[in-house]
Amino acid sequence: MILKHYFIILLFINNVSSKSKFTLDEFFNYTTFTSLTVAPDDGQSILIQTLHRIWDRNINEEHLYLHTLSDNNKKLITTQGSSFKPKWKGDLIALILTSNSTNRAKKVKTSDEVQYIHIYSISTDQLVPLMIGKESIHTFIWSTTSMSIYFATRTPWSEEDEETYKNEWKDVIQYREQYRGDTIYRADLENMTLTRIVPLVNISYRVNELICSPDGKQLIYSTKPASSNLERIHDYELFLLDLTNPSLSNPLKLTNNSAIEENLKWSIDGLVFFTVTGKGSVDSEYEDSQGRLYHINISNYRIERWANQFKGQVNDYILLEGGRQGVVILGQLSTETQLYKQQSFSSELIKQNGWNGTYENIATASSGNSSTIVFIHSSYEQPQEVYFINNIDQLNIALPVTSENKLFTKRNLPKGKSYRWINKDDKMEIEGILLYPPDKFEEKNLPLFVLIHGGPYEADTNSFRLDWYYCAAMMATEGWLVLQPNYRGSTGYGDEFLRSIRYQIVSRPAKDILYGVDALIHDGIADYTKLTIGGYSYGAYLTNWIITQTTRFNAALSGAGASEHVADWGLTDIPLASIYMFGGFPWQVPHLYQQEAAIFQIDKVRTPTHIVVPGSDIRVATSENYILERALNSLDILTKLIVLPDEPHLLGNNPWHEKIKLREEIRWLQKYGHICVSACNETFNSASHHTYIQIHTFTFFLLVLLAYFKN
Ligand X SMILES: *[C@@H]1O[C@H](CO)[C@@H](O)[C@H](O)[C@H]1NC(C)=O
Least Å distance, CB 355 to ligand X, is: 7
Contact between 195 and ligand X per CB under 6 A: no
Q: Pairing between strand 206-212 and 193-202?
A: unpaired
**Sites for ligand X among residues 681-700 (CB under 6 A):** 681
**Sites for ligand X among residues 62-91 (CB under 6 A):** 79-80
Among 445, 680, 688, 689, binds ligand X (CB under 6 A): 680
In the bound state with ligand X, the residue whose beta carbon lies nearer, of 189 and 613, is 189
Phi, psi of 22 (to 5 degrees): -80, 155
Contact between 190 and ligand X per CB under 6 A: yes
Cβ-contact 217, 243 below 8 angstroms: yes
Core vs surface per residue 97-125: b (16+ CB within 10 A) or e: beeebebbbeeeeeeeeebbbbbbbbeee
**Sites for ligand X among residues 415-454 (CB under 6 A):** none
In the bound state with ligand X, the residue whose beta carbon lies nearer, of 29 and 594, is 29
Least Å distance, CB 227 to ligand X, is: 18
Cβ-contact 572, 581 below 8 angstroms: no
**CB neighbourhood size of 682 (10 A):** 15
Least Å distance, CB 596 to ligand X, is: 28
The identity of residue 314, as a single letter, is V
**Sites for ligand X among residues 262-301 (CB under 6 A):** 269-271, 297, 299-300
In angstroms, the CA 509 to CA 545 distance is: 10
Least Å distance, CB 26 to ligand X, is: 5
Task: Give kind and range of the element (H or E) at residue 517.
Answer: helix 507-522
Which of 196-204, 358-366, 429-437, 688-696 is the region at the interface with ligand X (rule: CB under 6 A)?
196-204
**Sites for ligand X among residues 22-41 (CB under 6 A):** 25-26, 29
Beta-strand runs (E) in 404-523:
415-423, 428-436, 446-452, 481-486
Contact between 346 and ligand X per CB under 6 A: no
Least Å distance, CB 109 to ligand X, is: 15
**How big is the site for ligand X, counted in residues (CB under 6 A)?**
29
Among 115, 155, 601, 623, binds ligand X (CB under 6 A): 155
Least Å distance, CB 6 to ligand X, is: 33
Cβ-contact 203, 223 below 8 angstroms: yes
Among 127, 128, 350, 407, binds ligand X (CB under 6 A): 407
Contacts for 646 with CB less than 8 Å, ≥ 6 apart: 105, 106, 615, 616, 653, 654
In the bound state with ligand X, the residue whose beta carbon lies nearer, of 479 and 655, is 655
Contact between 100 and ligand X per CB under 6 A: yes
The verdict on whether omega for the bond into residue 509 sits within 30 degrees of 0, i.e. cis, is no
The CA-atom distances, in angstroms, between 46 and each of 373, 481, 548, 596 are: 10, 39, 51, 48
Contact between 111 and ligand X per CB under 6 A: no
Q: Pairing between strand 639-644 and 609-614?
A: parallel
Among 11, 16, 199, 570, binds ligand X (CB under 6 A): 199
In angstroms, the CA 659 to CA 663 distance is: 6
**Sites for ligand X among residues 579-608 (CB under 6 A):** none
Contacts for 413 with CB less than 8 Å, ≥ 6 apart: 22, 380, 381, 438, 473
**CB neighbourhood size of 197 (10 A):** 16
**Sites for ligand X among residues 363-382 (CB under 6 A):** 368-370
Least Å distance, CB 669 to ligand X, is: 20
Least Å distance, CB 201 to ligand X, is: 6
Least Å distance, CB 552 to ligand X, is: 11
Task: Give kind and range of the element (H or E) at residue 661.
Answer: helix 655-672
Least Å distance, CB 79 to ligand X, is: 5
In the bound state with ligand X, the residue whose beta carbon lies nearer, of 407 and 642, is 407
In the bound state with ligand X, the residue whose beta carbon lies nearer, of 217 and 424, is 217
Which 3-state string (H, E, C) describes 548-611? HHCCCCCEEEEECCCCCCHHHHHHCCCHHHHHHHHCCCCCCCHHHHHHCCHHHHHHHCCCCEEE
Cβ-contact 167, 128 below 8 angstroms: no
Contact between 394 and ligand X per CB under 6 A: no
Residues that bind ligand X (CB under 6 A): 25-26, 29, 79-80, 100, 155, 183, 190-191, 199, 201-202, 249, 256, 269-271, 297, 299-300, 356, 368-370, 407, 676, 680-681
